[in-house]
Amino acid sequence: MSSERIDETAADWFARLLSPDCTERDRDAFEAWCAQSEAHADAFAAVAQCHADAAVLKNDERMRAGARAARYAVSARTRHRRPARLAGFAAAAALVLAVGAGVLWTARSEKTQSFRYATTVGEQRRVELADGTHVQLDTDTQLDVRFDASSRELRLDRGRIDIEVAADAKRPFSVRSGRGVVHDIGTQFQVARYGGDVTVTLLSGLVSVALAEPASPQENRVLAPGEELHIGDRGDLGWPTRVDLDVVSGWTRGVLTFKDRRLGDLLDEMNRYSETKIRIADPALSSLVVSGVFRTGDQSSLLQALRAGWSIRSRHVSDREIELSHE
């Protein structure tokens, strides 16, 4: 295939992935196409760069110079240690970050809009932002929103959000949380922060994820739909892994789905939705593998399921604490 035809195909894939009717079969076919050749992945990275340039560079020569420098740094590094698809995606991410970070903190408009949204323990809330973006806040979540004429920035201090980003080519959209920053390229994604750890999950479209203060331009990733990435409290940026989208998006429908997960993890998740916490008296129970679908905040059904399926008994040790142990 000629390089011109590869470029055209990459552009077609970019448009297809951003389409609202993009299917799982389309995404699998796209990943297969990228894996066929490093030229395919690089062509897609170039398309992502052009899209980012159009959205944030405008006529700023300093930002254009930054993009050129980032592209040179990425192309100069050794590629043979990564699959072609990841190498191409990383190139796109580096370019988005190189130009995006500068724009976010330079030309601030005087007409800045700032809002704070928060939910209490057990509460969920869906809001529509001024630009048409929809955000669903999970239990015990705090979110700051800052819009101006040149940028849209969210800061997640704690909790979890699901974001459906409204298109606005003139104002880049980003989410900062912990040590990480997520740059949107037209998508729906989730960000969760518990303590210092941050998790980014992509449901559709594309996002680039990086450290807020990267040591080098290579410290960034681009996620494909159905991928998740973790950022540690020390600034360690993980690699994307595949996830079950029905499971990770269940909380937006008020359900928590667990498939062969540790009981300790299940309780951590359920405890976020209630002031009354469920504790484990016998440490061995934490590693017990369980599966099930539970309503958020429905501790009674959970306790009944644990007793019926795993012979675990519960007792209230105080108004705000329930203890689990073997029968």
Domains of the chain by residue range: 3-104, 113-245, 254-326
- pLDDT tens figures, 244-271: 998 999 999 999 999 899 999 999 999 9
Q: Is 168 left (phi over 0), alpha (psi -120 to 50) or beta?
A: beta
Per-residue pLDDT, 94 = 36
User: The pTM is what?
Assistant: 0.66
Q: Please give the share of the chain, as a percent, with pLDDT higher than 70.
A: 76
Cα–Cα distance, 67 to 49 (Å, whole number): 9
Which of 3.55.50.30, 1.10.260.40, 3.90.650.10, 3.90.1150.10 would CATH assign to domain 254-326?
A: 3.55.50.30
pLDDT digits (tens, 9 = 90+) for 213-233: 766 655 788 999 999 999 998
Give the residue among 272, 249, 298 at the shortest CA–CA distance from 194. 272
Q: Which fold has domain 113-245?
A: Jelly Rolls (2.60.120)
Please give the Cα distance from 141 to 139 (Å, whole number): 6
Q: Which amino acid is at 69?
A: A
Does the pLDDT at position 117 exceed 70? yes
Contacts of 229 (CB under 8 A, 6+ apart): 199, 200, 201, 209, 221, 223, 237, 238, 239, 240, 241
* Range 120-127 average pLDDT: 95
Tell me the per-residue pLDDT of 190-210, one tens digit each, with 9 for 90 and over.
Answer: 999 998 899 999 999 989 999
Whether 113-245 and 254-326 share one fold: the answer is no
